[in-house]
Structure 1
């Protein structure tokens, strides 16, 4: 007896869906990085008032860079970009005001890629498959 595989269909968008799910892993870290960097920026203005505020701003800056660099790396891994572009984008996270813009652009591009693959991202971190 031969098995009948006539009604079996394969996912034609497998590569796009896989890249979107891979980029979604880093997408969870980007809002945290933006919040840390904004808080460090605000605390940095009051760093002259107290040395503890300066230390807190420095810790938030380092944590924001770490979250942003790792999240951006994971997102770009899903994009399939060349290595030198990845290095340039992560290096732009070292420039004080450019890093917030870079994080927002990578976040928007990742969300757009996920929407085209049929997924929806919420700020709580859930990734939901949209019904077509």
Structure 2
């Protein structure tokens, strides 16, 4: 007896769905990188108003730079995923990566890339919230 495949339906949007999943992963990394950078900036802004010793202040500044470094690495990962899936050129990727190295400009860059990812995901039928995309 042969199997009956008459009711079998294929996903016509498989490529779009796979691309959207990868962009969704990159977007979550970009959102986390933005929040990490925001915490690092907040630490530097709040620090002068705190009454802490020089040693503790130095450790807090060093901690903010470690946070920024982590945010840059996570941002690089997220932007690479998004840019690769959206088909950005090498020049656009390099310019975006350079912008990630500049404090405060990196936050604007992350927001712009997040906006591009959000537009694609909404077009693909995903709903996008603060924690990323979901179907």
TM over 0.5: yes
1:72 match:
79
Distance 2:79 2:134 in 1: 17
Aligned residue for 2:63?
56
Indicate which of 93, 105, 108 corresponds to 1:98: 105
Q: Does 1:24 align with 2:24?
A: yes
Between Structure 1 and Structure 2, the one with more helix by share is 2
Q: CA RMSD in A?
A: 2.5
Tell me, yes or no, if structure 1 residue 44 matches structure 2 residue 44: yes
Give the Å deviation of 1:3: 7.8
Instruction: Give distance in 1, aligned partners of 2:68 and 2:131.
Output: 23
Query: Which structure has the higher relative contact order (CA within 8 Å, separation 6+)?
Result: 2
Q: Quick check: 1:108 aligned with 2:115?
A: yes
Q: How many residues align?
A: 128
Q: Extract unaligned runs of 5+ from structure 2.
A: none
Deviation of residue 2 (structure 1)?
8.8
3-state SS in 1 of match to 2:127: strand
1:27: Cα distance to partner?
Answer: 1.0
2:31 touches 2:132 (CA, 8 Å); kept in 1?
no
